[in-house]
Amino acid sequence: MDIQAIVEMVMKELEKNDTKIVETTPSKKHQVNEVIYKTEKIVTVDDAIKKEDIEKAQAITPARIGIGRTGTRMKTKNYLDFRIDHAAAQDAVFKDVSKEFIKTMSLPVLQSRAESMEQYLMNLDSGRRLSAHSIEWAQKNLRQKQQVQVIISDGLSSTGVEATIPDLLPALLQGLKVKNISVGEPVFIQKSRVWIQDEIASITDCEIVISLIGERPGLATSKSVSAYFIYRPNEKSVEADRTVISNIHEGGIPPVEAGAYLADLLEQSLHYKASGVKLARIKGE
């Protein structure tokens, strides 16, 4: 259910819909619910003792603070805000990345073995391996023995991918180009998980594979992605071998800044021939 539907449903429950007549043809009219709702942080606590302090706290955190109540229930505005954020989180998980986005970014599209969102969510392994057709395509088309191979994965937030990758990916590629690091053509893999990078690394024989993947959305934001990379993965690789930078979005680590930072980390990983905990130890972190 999308945000508009959630708002319309709640407004109908509260009997506060505004309606108007819209002429669609010279001989036919129908009613349309018009809902305009503005989301903004305001203190809804009645007679707050230190309202200014609450407003300052609201400005620096996505947490739901300064929420008022009517009897035992939250106020209508806070209830609507919650339902809208919840709908956005659901959309981020269940909606596919748009074809327009893929076309604009000029990304080849591969597919994991997950044939549906239900299978992707219930069977973790299905998102960790490429489909047979995608394996064949990757073997024929992806450049071999590059220093870095980039994967974009929808993961659990198509919204995060569409909102963040247009700035994050160019910044990352530009940073690697400046450092004279060779990069294979970035690919988009539908319904994929982090570990699918191991199979891509095996196919391309790259030194490092990095996944830019949609994060599990929360009520604070549905637009966040994470970056996972690993140096020379193999059948014995574990989570500790991967370096991760998370919370990349406009309200966290800005995508452009994250791209430049990731380029620096990848350069270090190539230099030390390590990633994850091993890289952190070498750097003394």
Structural domain boundaries in the chain: 3-94, 99-283
Q: What is the mean pLDDT of residues 46-62?
A: 82
CATH fold, domain 99-283, is Rossmann fold (3.40.50)
Task: Say what the pLDDT of residue 36 is.
Answer: 62
Give the DSSP letter of residue 253: B
Task: Say what the pLDDT of residue 269 is.
Answer: 97
Q: What is the mean pLDDT of residues 192-203?
A: 95
Identify the residue whose tokens are 């999308």.
2
45 labeled binding residue: no
215 labeled binding residue: yes
Confidence band of 184 (pLDDT split at 50, 70, 90)? very high
> How many CB atoms are located within 10 Å of the residue 156 CB?
21
If we measure between CA atoms, which residue out of 196, 198, 201 comes closest to residue 144? Answer: 201
- The structure's pTM equals 0.71
Confidence band of 35 (pLDDT split at 50, 70, 90)? low
State yes or no: pLDDT of 12 exceeds 80. no
Cα(74)–Cα(19) distance, rounded to whole angstroms? 26
Helix orientation angle between 158-178 and 76-94, rounded to the nearest 10 degrees = 60
Three-state DSSP at 163 gives: helix
State yes or no: pLDDT of 123 exceeds 90. no
Task: Say what the pLDDT of residue 227 is.
Answer: 96
> SS3 breakdown of the chain: % helix, strand, coil, rounded to 5?
45, 20, 35
More confident site: 69 or 230: 230
More confident site: 128 or 50: 128
Task: Say what the pLDDT of residue 16 is.
Answer: 46
